[in-house]
Amino acid sequence: MKLAKVIRWEFTQTIRSKQFLVMTVFIPAIIGVAVFAITLAMEGEVSTPSEPPPPFIIGLFLALILFIGAFISGVMTMYGVMKEKQSRVVEMMLSSVSAWDLMAGKVIGLGLAGLIQVIAWAATAYFVAGRFLPLSLASLSLAHWVTYPLYFCLGYLFIASIYATVGAAIKDIHSGGAIGLAGIVPYVPMMFAALIIQKPDSLLVRIAGFIPPFTPGVMLLRIGATPTISEGTKFVPAWEMGLSLLSLAVGTVLMMRFATKVFEVGMLMTGKSASLRELWRWGVRGS
């Protein structure tokens, strides 16, 4: 119950801000109108290929959007957590709600606001790309419509939780040190995107799909690439998706718990940042 109230507060406070309005409405609208005007002016000069792009494009596109969106909302979450500590409002909050409600409420509330932003940007990108490529969502099956959003949203929360942990552990933005690098771990699969798209059924890719920080990136690419490459297999086996989704869900909850514990210890120590060793001790032992 309290969690829902914290989520609503964090969400409404964020979407009411001017920056949010600019980033979510104005900039995408300006880009959309500009591209529309340019393509209209060049009518006939650019030949649009009639060949539809390969299906893995949607998966790659979603993975890219996920990582850009999760990065932006992750940084927002990190600042939110740091501000909570610095403004000292945290004592009043924690005398009203549990640290878990506060942390989870922040991650989910800011995540939802970020999701709206991501949808606005994705729609803009789809529109812009559609002016040059014969893109169509009709090629997506029901299975795509179910699995893409699941991986996307869970991956989104997982990445935001990592940033929340970083925010809970550091004193200010200049003193992140090694801990700040934690935020790039989920991005590793993107460096191997070509490999995953070419060999979506290789053992390495299949195993990586079960390891939470890599799951969202690997699986979004893999699902997009599977029908074209491997003959016979229409889709990634259901059990693999079920298991990887389960491990991602469990991983997300554990990551949020870890962030909560780091926050509980870190909020009383506003004067210092945690070292990697301390981070582990704060997050696991809670002291």
Partner 1 sequence: MNRSELLRVEGVSKTFESVRAVDDVSFCVERGEILGFLGPNGAGKTTTLRMILGILRPDRGEIRFGAAGPAPMAPKEHTGYLPEERGLYGDARVLDLLVYFGELKGLARADARDRAREWLGRFDLGDWSLKKIEKLSKGMQQKVQFIAAIVHRPQFVVLDEPFAGLDPVNQDLLKEVIHRLREDGAAVLLSSHQMNRVEELCDRIFLIHRGRRVLYGGLEEIKEAHGEHAVLLRFAGDGTSLRSIEGIADLRLGSGRAAFTLLPGTEPDALIRCLPETIEILALHVDRPPLHDLFIRTIEGGDA
**Total residues interacting with partner 1, rule: CB under 8 A:** 18
- Alpha-carbon separation of residue 246 from 90, 146, 147, 259 (angstroms): 33, 15, 12, 20
| 17 counts as binding partner 1 under rule CB under 8 A | yes
Contacts of 72 (CB under 8 A, 6+ apart): 114, 117
Nearer to partner 1, 166 or 265 (CB): 265
The three-state secondary structure class of 171 is: coil
Among positions 36, 46, 52, 96, the unique one binding partner 1 when judged by CB under 8 A: 96
Residues 215-234, one symbol each (x = binds partner 1 by CB under 8 A, - = not), give --------------------
- Alpha-carbon separation of residue 11 from 18, 24, 70, 254 (angstroms): 14, 14, 16, 23
Residues 187-216, one symbol each (x = binds partner 1 by CB under 8 A, - = not), give ------------------------------
| 88 counts as binding partner 1 under rule CB under 8 A | yes
> Which position has the token pair 């940042």?
273
| 19 counts as binding partner 1 under rule CB under 8 A | no
Among positions 94, 120, 211, 249, the unique one binding partner 1 when judged by CB under 8 A: 94
Distance CA 279, CA 271 (A): 15
Distance CA 103, CA 267 (A): 12
Which stretch in 30-38, 81-89, 133-141, 238-246 sits in contact with partner 1 by CB under 8 A? Answer: 81-89
Structure tokens at 23: 């980033």
Structure tokens at 145: 């419509």
| 172 counts as binding partner 1 under rule CB under 8 A | no
| 9 counts as binding partner 1 under rule CB under 8 A | yes
**Interacting residue ranges for partner 1, rule: CB under 8 A:** 2, 5-6, 9, 13, 17, 87-97, 268
